[in-house]
Structure 1
Amino acid sequence: MLSFFNDYQSPIGKMTIQVNDQGLMGVWFSTQKTIPKILGVKSESNALIIETQSQLNDYFKGLRREFNLPLFLQGTLFQQQAWQALRKIPFGETRSYLQQAQTINKPKAVRAIGSANAKNPISIIVPCHRVIAANGALTGHAGGLELKLWLLDHEKAFSVCVIASLF
């Protein structure tokens, strides 16, 4: 299956977007320790890459809280369940690894949840940055804890703006 990729310059650094004809396969930060070897054709004109960039631009401007993109997530059944649970965490909110495990009815799988989140191929859009330790501490993120903190602060800032504008 042919895939396409292109770089995207975000406010927090360079990212790479990869798609195929079935959906978005990956969004990776250049700072990630492990980025899969991307095989495919570099494309600046692929419609899904362009739409992904557009939705990410809106996210960074505070105009988008959810993404409406077809996803092509490759992983084990457990990973797929963990990643679907991530997509249910609202913008500007956090959950613990235990809460995420409970969402998929596997409350004893907290460590496995952490492992699945670490393998999440679609950063931001599948928001693993919204998962923190039960005590509120920031824990692992593929792009680093500084980046995770930036994303959480970004979402909280725009969540507050929306609430304030209601009054």
Structure 2
Amino acid sequence: MTTTISEYIDVRQRISDLGCLSPTGLALLPSNFETASDISTFRQVSESATVRTLLRTSNVPLDELLSKEQRPSYIQNNAFEWVAPTLFVSAGVLSQNASYLSVALSVIANYATDFFKGMSGENQVQMDIVVERTKSKVCKKVTYKGPPEGLKDLPEVIRTASDE
């Protein structure tokens, strides 16, 4: 299991530059959010729709960056690991509704665990979580690669990254 923390672009500025809707809570970022020339070139991992549904049915509010008419195309990942969409965590969520993050990661971990049932070998989840820092609004990216149950331990890592 590996967890790394790295610098990330200013999500709020990028959202403004691209003309996206501004999330106040949790949101899924397209996989090419940093490099897309405009919103028409956004791409999202194929599990984005599944994660949206899982979170909504678990009563975890999820903000959208785009209207339904503007939804990006999907990227199909064919690998022996489950690639989750990038989760954006606004500073407001961590200060006002921190339980949403824990619930969201638990729901995703439970789904990934079920996804791997009956499969032999090492079950790997790959997930990026972009967290907006509470003081400077600069963002950090937490990259996780490991077993699904390890996702449940990430809220503390994310809180630490948000307070740096």
TM-score scaled by structure 1?
0.29
Higher strand share: 2
Of structures 1 and 2, the one with the larger relative CO (CA 8 A, separation 6+) is 2
Instruction: Flag the structure with larger Rg.
Output: 1
Give the TM-score taking structure 2 as reference length. Answer: 0.29
